Chains A and B, each alone.
Chain A
Amino acid sequence: MADEAALKALFLKGLAGDEAATRAFLTDAAALLRAFFRARLRGRTEDAEDLVQETLVALHTRRESYDPNYPLTAWLYAIARYRLIDFLRRAKHRNHAPLDGVDVGEPDPDYEASDAKRDVATLLDKLPEKQRTAIRMVKLEEKSVKETAEATGLSESDIKISIHRGLKTLMRLMGQEQPT
């Protein structure tokens, strides 16, 4: 697993607009987050994976909030802890028997739970149309910003802004959604 220095190098490259570095950073971050959330939500691997995805979007949409004078992992875990507290607060408002203290055994280490409970793709439908189209075309259908702009008749900067806003909205929706 990546250490602080390697992770920070990847992240800073990503900040400068490097796609491969961004992907590598998010992949490493996902592994760290998965361990972090699973250790704190014993056995609830799907909830943990929901939180991993939610936190990845948070890390990405708020990436400019990192201060390079401090460790990157401190930033990453501060956001992870915040998402966890927010999740637990949300869970408290839901009415069902708490699982706290119930020992359901160790999570299966081989179980690759990248299947989260909620489906981010379906959340996309709740976005305003412009944001939804921009994210769908650029992020999912692998079209370039330019192609998307031509296809929709919007300007390129409009597309970029729509993607950025859309991702932030998406993270908020992930937080508001009430997983059962």
Chain B
Amino acid sequence: MKTDDLINALSRGVEPAERPRWRMNLAITLVAGLIVAGALVAIGLGVRPDIGTARMPIMMKSMFAALAAAVILPIAVQLMKPGRPLGWRIGAVVLFVGVCAVATITALMGEMPEQRWQAWMGGEGRAPWCVVLIPILAVPAAALLTWFMRAFAPTRITLTGAAIGALSGGVSAMAYAMYCPTDSVAFVTTWYTLAIAVCAALGALVGSRFLRW
């Protein structure tokens, strides 16, 4: 078939294009991802036993994770459609990571030198498991977001995979906060951020496989 014939075929009887209602769909996708992650925490890990008295720190940690997701969101939205620059949106992520680094150092400086390591690692004999658990909990949200994204036309698919990974990591960290027993600032600003970065890296690795169109 000649290109001119193809053009004729494509344009023949063309209809007005539909405007997809992406805001609503994206909101539903994110909320669904959060609910699934929350259910997985409740069933698989169990909420922390002192959830009654620990409302404040749980809220703070969830807010921190929500903030991280909010910083990633503009990038993910921008990547939905081809030919849109990222610009300041990348700067916002850099700024967020910078603020986290400063907060970590400031918080650790406030501790006694011999307790710094424990405060950073989450206390006696503990390890920052969130770096493993948050990416696992992020899988449902990432799958939903990939499905959402496939309805659009991402052309930078590795970057889009990273953005989906980071966004679902932020959502899953919001749910993970219900389980996470450690409340120190330096712990959260370091390991939650790193966990989300791991999600982004995994997303970049597998993204191009699932986002091709």
Contact = CB atoms under 8 A, between A and B. Distances in A.
Interface of A: 14-20, 22-23, 26-27, 30, 49, 52-53, 56-58, 60, 62-67, 70-71, 73-79, 81-82, 86, 114-116, 119-121, 135, 138-140, 142, 144-145, 160, 167, 171-172, 175
Interface of B: 1-4, 6-20, 80-85, 152-153, 155-157, 212-213
Given A27-B7, A139-B10, A78 B16 contact: no
Contact of A52 (B3, B13, B16, B85): B3
Contact of B17 (A15, A79, A139): A15
A76 B155 CA distance: 11
A167 B213 contact: no
Contacts of B4: 27, 114
B16 A121 contact: no
B64 to A, nearest CB: 31
Nearest to B2: A114
Which of B81, B155, B213 has most chain A Cβ within 10 Å?
Answer: B155
B82 A78 contact: yes
Contacts of A142: 12
Contact of A53 (B6, B17, B82): B6
Nearest to A63: B17
Given A74-B82, A77-B83, 5 more contacts: A23-B8, A26-B11, A52-B3, A53-B3, A58-B213
Given A66-B81, A114-B4, A172-B213, A167 B155 contact: no
Which one of B12, B14, B84, B213 has the highest number of Cβ atoms from chain A below 10 Å of its Cβ? B14
A86 B212 contact: yes
Contacts of B12: 19, 138-139, 142
Contacts of B213: 58, 62, 171-172
B50 to A, nearest CB: 48
18 contacts: A16-B17, A17-B14, A17-B15, A17-B17, A22-B11, A23-B7, A23-B8, A53-B3, A57-B6, A57-B10, A65-B82, A75-B83, A76-B83, A120-B1, A120-B6, A144-B13, A167-B10, A171-B213
A135 B5 CA distance: 13
Nearest to B157: A82
A6 B8 CA distance: 20
B155 A79 contact: yes
B212 A74 contact: no
Contact of A56 (B7, B14, B153): B7
Given A65-B153, A70-B84, A86-B212, A19 B3 contact: no
A144 B14 CA distance: 11
A145 B19 CA distance: 21
A175 to B, nearest CB: 8
A73 to B, nearest CB: 8
Contacts of A16: 16-17
Given A19-B12, A77-B83, A56 B6 contact: yes
A85 to B, nearest CB: 9
Nearest to A67: B81
B114 to A, nearest CB: 54
